[in-house]
Structure 1
C-alpha cells in the first residue's frame, strides 16, 4: 500500500510538474510576446525620439541663423535710428540758426527803414531849403529891380503931390513949413526905426530856425528814449516768457526722465519675469508630459508606482532610468550598456516580494527588481577612486541623481563601464591588460563585454531609456492646475508690464516731441531778446549823439542868447524910437491932416498913393533883407543836413552789404537744411521699409523659438 501511495503521489507530482511546465511555457510565451511588443514600441519611440532630437537640432541651427539675421537687422535699425536722430539734431540746429537769421534780418530791415526815413526826411528838408534859397535868390533881384521903379514912381507921384500942394500952397504954406520942420526932426527917427525893424526880423528868423533845430533834436532824443523804454518792456515780457518756457522744459524733461525710468524699471522687471514665465511654461509642459507619459506607461510599472503613491507598499523608488539623468550625448551609450534601467528599484527584499505578489494577484505580468539592501557590499568599491585609461569617463560618473542612495543602484548596474567617442578607442581599452575597464561602450552603442564579446552598434542604435533631467514624481491634476495658475499669473504680469512699457514709451516720446517744440520756442524767444538787446544797444550808442543833438551847442546857445538880447534890444530900441517919435508923429499927422484938408479930396488921394508907394518900397526892402537872411541860414542848414545825409547813406550801404552777406549765408543754410531734410525723409522711408523686414525677421525668430521651446518641453525628461 505504501508503494502504491508513493507511486500515486509521484504520478500526481509528475502531472503537477507537467502542468507547471506548461503554465511556465505559456507564461514565457506570453512574456516573450509582450517583450516583443514592448521592444517594437521602444524601437518606435526611440525612432520618434531621434526624429524629435534631429528636429530640435535643425531648429536650433535655423534659430541661430534667424538670430544672426535678426541681430543684423537690429544693428541696421540702430544705425538708421542713429542717422534719424542726427538728422533731427542737425535740423533743430538749422531751425535755431533760421530763427537767428530772421531776427537779424528783421533788425537790419528796421535799421534800413529808419535810415531811409531819415534820408527821405533830410532830403525833403534839403530840397525845401534849396527851393527856399532858390526862391529867395530869384526874389531878391526882382525886389531889388522893383525898388527903383517904385522910387521913380514915388518921385513922379511926389511931384504931382507937390503940384497939388503948390496949388494949395497959400493955404498950406504955414502948415508945410511946420510939417517940414517936424519931418526934418522925425527923419532920423524913421531911418533908425526901419533899420532896427530889419535887424529885429533877421534876428527873429535866425532864432526861429535854431529853435526848430533844437526842438527836432529834443524830439529825436525823446523818441529814442521812448523806444528804449518800449524795448526794455518787451525784454522783460520776453524774459518772463523765456523763464516760463524753461520751467516747462524742466517739467517736460522730468516727465520724460520719469517715463524712461519707468520704462527701464519695467524692462528690468520684464527681463526678470521672462525666464520665470519660460520656466513656468516649461514646468507646465513637463508636468503635462509626465502626466501623458504616465498614461502610456506599462501596466506593471503603473501598478507599482500607484502602490508607491498610495503607500500600500513601502520602500519603492521607481524605475531606475527615471531616477537619474545624463547628457543627451551619452543617451545611446547608457541605454545600451545599462539594461538595468528598466529595473524597479526597491529598498528591501520584502518590498520586492510585495510587488511580485501584487503583480501575481492582479495578473499583470513580471518585473525585475534592484534591491538596494543586497548591494550594500558594493559601497566600498563605489567610494574607491579610479583612473580610467586614456582619460575616458565612467558612465556611472556621468549620471546625476537627486537621491544619493540611487548611486548604489547605478553602480550595481554599471560598475566601471567606460564610454568612448570612437570604436577604435573602445577596442584598445577593451583588449588592454586592465581587467577593471574591459567593459566599454561607444557613443553610438557598440558594447564590449568583460568576456571580450562585442554587441550593439549597427544601423539603429537604441536610446531614450534615461532622460536629460530627472523625472519628477507622479503628477496630480491639482499640480497641473497650480502650474497653470502660476503661468497665468506670470503671463498677466508680463502683459501688464508690456502695456506699462508701451505707455511709458509713448509718454517719453510725446514729451521729447514737446521738448523739441519748447526748445525751438525758447531759442526763438532768446533770439528775440538778443535782437531786442541789440536794438537797445544800437539806440544806446545813438543816444549819446541824439542827446548831444538835443542839447544845443554852446556856440548855438550863445548865439540864441545873443539873438534874444538882440531881439530884446531891437524891440526895446524900436519901442524907444516909437515912443520918442510919437509926439512928432502926432504933430506931423495933425499937420498933414490940416494940409490934406486944405488941399481937399484930390490931395488926400495923392497923398494916399504916395504913402502906398512908400509902404511898398519899405516892404520890398524888408523882404530883400529877409530873403538874404533865409539864404544864409538855409545854406548853413543844407551843409549840416548834407553831411548827415551822406553819413546815413554810408551807414545804409554798410547795413545793406551786411544784409546781402546774411542772405547768402542763409541761402547756404537753406541748401544744407534742405539736404538734411531730404536725408531725414529718405531715412524715414528706409526705416519704414526696414521695419517691415525687421518685423518679419522678428516674427520668424519668435515663431522658431516657440517651436524649439515646445520641442524641448515635449522631450521626455
Structure 2
C-alpha cells in the first residue's frame, strides 16, 4: 500500500515513492467560483504542535514500512478509493495514543499485525507518529521548526498481544506517553481531537440525559467537556453523608426523649433520699459541736501540762548551768581529742600512702633499668648490623662499577673484532673466488663425499636412538624389579608408623578425657562448696539470731523485767507478757506488722485491776511507764475471715497466737488492716470503695483518711518473731550447725585431694601437648605417604616371569644393535680421510695465501668466543651486584630506622629513670618527716585522753541528778502527749465529718465555735441529740443509690442532648458543603454551557444561513434533572428537535455542535474521518471553508472522498493498494 501527498495550491501534484505502482492521475480542480475564500488577517508568529508524518510498519493493511505524509501545518486531506486503508491511519493514531484493540475494530492487538498472501506470520507491527513544534509564519506554507522540538512516539505490538511504547527511541510506558500528549494539549480523555466515521450522527441520536450510568446523554456529553462532571462523585458522597447524618440525628433525638422520661420517673425516690441525707448532715453538725467541746478540754489539759513542764525545765536548766564550764571543757577536750584522732589517722594514712608510692616507684625503676639494658643490647646488635651492611654495600657498589667498566671494554673489543672478522671473511671470499675455477673439480668431489657422510650420519643417529629406546626400556624394567623389594620394605615401615600414631592418639585422647572428668568433678565439688558453705553460714546465723533473740527475750527492758519478776514471785497474777511475744508471724511480714502495729509493745493482763496494780508498782518505784491491754475489757468483735479486695491477706489472719485467749488482743490492735505487695497495689485498695487501712511489705502505711506514713531507709522490725524460741530450739540449731561443720571439714579434705590430682594432671599437659603435636605431624606425613603409595602397594608383587623374559630379550637386542652401530661408525672415517685429501688439494692450489687467511678468521672467531664468555660473566656479576646493593640498602634503611627508635627509647627511658629517682627522693624525705610527726601526735593524743577521762567522771555524777528531774519531766510529757493524741483524734474525727451536697438546697458548712460558746454547751445534751438522730437514721430505709442513678440519668440526658446538638451541627455543615458543591457545579456548567450554546448558534448560522440552533434545558430550574434539548431551525423551516431532522440536517447540526465544542476547548490537532459523507454539495463547501478558517490555529487532517472538501486542503495524501498490500 502506498501513500502519495498532493498539493492543489498551484495546480501541481506532489508524488511520494510507492512500492510498485504510483498514483499519477491528478484530481480535477474545483472552480474558484465555488470556493469561498477569506482574507486571513496578518498575525504574529505563533508556536504550534503538529504531526509531521506517520510511519507504519506491517500495520493492518500496510506491509513493510510505509510513510504517510508529510502533513501540511494547517490542512491536509487523505484521499483514496474505498477499502484502500484510509481509516487505518486513524487506527494507527489510536494505537499509538494507547487505545485498546476494540477501539481499532479488532478483538486483540495481535490482529493489528499485517497478514496478506505470502506474509501470514509476521512477528510484530509498529507505528511511529512524528510530532514537531513549529513557529507559524505568515503564508500558507511558511513556518519554522523549533530546534530540538521533534518528538517521535512509537508503539510496537507482538503476536503474544503485548506491546511496548517508545519516546524518541527510548522505551517508555502508557502513563508517560499519555501524560506527555496531554501536556501538549491533545485531549485523550474526551477524544475531541478525533471525529470518527459515523460519530457525528451519534451526537444527533443522544438522549437529553443518559437513562443509566453506562450510557451517555447530551447532558453528560457536554458536562464532561465543560469539566463539571468532576463534581458528581463529591456531590453523591456529600448527599450520602447528609442522609447518614439525618438518620443518626433521628436516632439520637429518640434517645434523648427516652432518657428524659426515665429521669422524670425517679423524682419521688430522689426526694426521699435527699431527706435522709439532710438528717445525716444534721448529725454531722451535732458531732462537730461535741468534738469541739472535747477539744477544749484537751486544750486546757495541754496548757496545764505545759506549765508543769516549763517549771521542771527551769530546774533542769539551773542544774545544768552549775556544770556548764565543766561540760564546755569536756566538749572542748572531746572535740580536740576527736580532731587529734582524725589528724593522727589522716597522717597515718598519708604515711602509708607515701611508703606505698615509694615502693611503686622503686619497682618501676627496676623495670625501667631492665628495659634500658635490653634496648642497649639491641642497639649494639643493630649498630653491628649497620656496619656489616655498609661494608657489603660498599663492596657491591665497587663490584658494580668494575663490572660495568669491564662490560663496556669487552663490548668495544667485541665490536672491533666483529668488524675485523667481517673484513677477513671478505678477503677469504675474494681469495676463494679467484681460485674457484681451479678448485671446482675438488669441491664437487668434496660435496659428493659430504653427502655420503651425511647419509651415514643419519643411519648412525637412527641406530643410536633405537639403542637408547631399548636401553630405556631395559632400565625401566630393571628399576621396577629392583625397587619392588624396597617398596615392600617402605610399606611395612609406613604401616608400623601409622599403627604407632593411632596408638599414641588414643593414649592422648584418653588422657584428655581423664582431665575433662577431673575438671567436671572439680566443678561439681565447687558448686557443692558454695551451697555447703552457704548452708553452714545460714546455720550459724540462725543459731546466733536465736540465741540473741532468746537472750533479749530473757533480758527484757527494765519495765517488763520488773513486772515479770513480780509475776515469777507470785506477787502479781493475771500478767502474761508483751503482746509481740505472745504470737509469731512469718519473717516476710515482720516489717509490715512492726510498722503498722506499735501496740505490740503493750503488756497483756487479765483485768483492769491487774493493770492498775502494775501501774501503781511502776509509779511507786519510779521505774517507768507502760501501756496495758486488759482481756476482760475487750469488746466482743467479729473476727471471722472477710473478703478482701484482690484477695490480699489480712494482717490479723497471718498471726499465730501462743494461746487462743490472746486472739482478741491481737484483733484489737490490728483490726482489718490489710497487707499488700507494693505501694501501687496498696493505694488502689486503700482508696477504693470502701476504704481500707493497708500496709506494704516494706512498712508503708496508708490510713483510711488518706494519710500515709512509714517507709524510708530505716525500717522498724523484729517486734514479732517468725517462731517461738526456746532452749530446745537453740539446742537443735546447735546440733544442726555441728553436723554441717563436720560435713564441711570432710568436704574440704575431698576437695583438696581432687585439686591435687587435677594439678598433677595439669602439670603433665605441656609434655602431652608436645607429644600430641609431634604425633599429629608424623601421623599427617604417614597418612599422606600412605595415600600416595596405596595404589602402588596394591600392585606390588614379586617380579613377574614376563618382566624377566623381556629384560633378557632387550639385552640381546641392545648387544646386536651395538655391533651394527660399531660397523657404521667405522665407515665415515674412510670418507673423512678422502675429504681431507681433497681439501688439502684445494689448499695446495691456493697455497699459503688461503691457509693464512683462514687461520686469521679462526683466530678472530676464537677471540670472539672468549669475549662473549667474558661479557656473560660480567653481566651476571653486575646483576648479582645490583641485587646485593638493593638488599643491603633495604637492610641498612631498616636497621637505621630500628636504631633511631632504640635511641629514642633509650633516651626516653633515661629521662624516666632520672625523673623517678628525683620523685623517689622527695617521697622518701616526705615519708621520714611524716613518721616523726606521727610519733609526736601519738604522745599528744595520749595526754588529751587522760584529761578527758577526768572531766567525764565529774559529768557522770551530775547526770544522776539530772535523770531524776527528767523522769518527772517525762511524766508531764506523757500526759501532754496523751492529750495531744486525743486532740489529734478529735481533730481527725472533725476532719472526717462530711456534709452531703443536696441539689437545690443551700450549701451548708461546719461552724467553728469560740471557747465561751463551747463552755455553755452540755456534752450530755449533745450526746442525747446525736443518739436520737442515729436512731432515726437507722430506722429510715431510703434508696440512696437512686441519687446516683438520677445523677447518671441527668448526666446521660445532658450528654445525649449535647450529642444531638453536635450531630445537628455536623448535618448542617455537610448540607452547606453539599449546597456549595451544587452551586459551584451549576455556576461552572452554566458559564461553559452559555459559551457553547452561543458558539453553536454562530456555527449553525454560519454553516446554514437563515437557520438557527440552540441548546436548552428540559427543566430550567434544575439543568441536571432532565437533561439538555438540542433544538434546530433549518432555513425556511420551524424549530425541531435534532432527532426529527433529516440525515444531512442532523450531520450539519452535530458538526455545528462539534465545532462549537472545539471553540470552547481547542486542541492543536484535529483528525476527521469522512465527516462530509451525509452532506450535500453545498454543505460540503461550507464545512470545507469553515475548516479552512480554523486551520489558522490548529492542524486538520481530514479523510474525505468529497472533492469540495479535499480540494480546499493545503496538501493531499493519496492512499491506494498494490498487490493487496
TM-score class, shorter-chain normalisation, is 0.3 to 0.5
Answer 1 or 2: which has greater strand percent: 2
Normalising by structure 2, what TM-score?
0.23
Answer 1 or 2: which has greater helix percent: 1
Normalising by structure 1, what TM-score?
0.36
Q: Which has the higher contact order (CA 8 A, sep 6+)?
A: 1
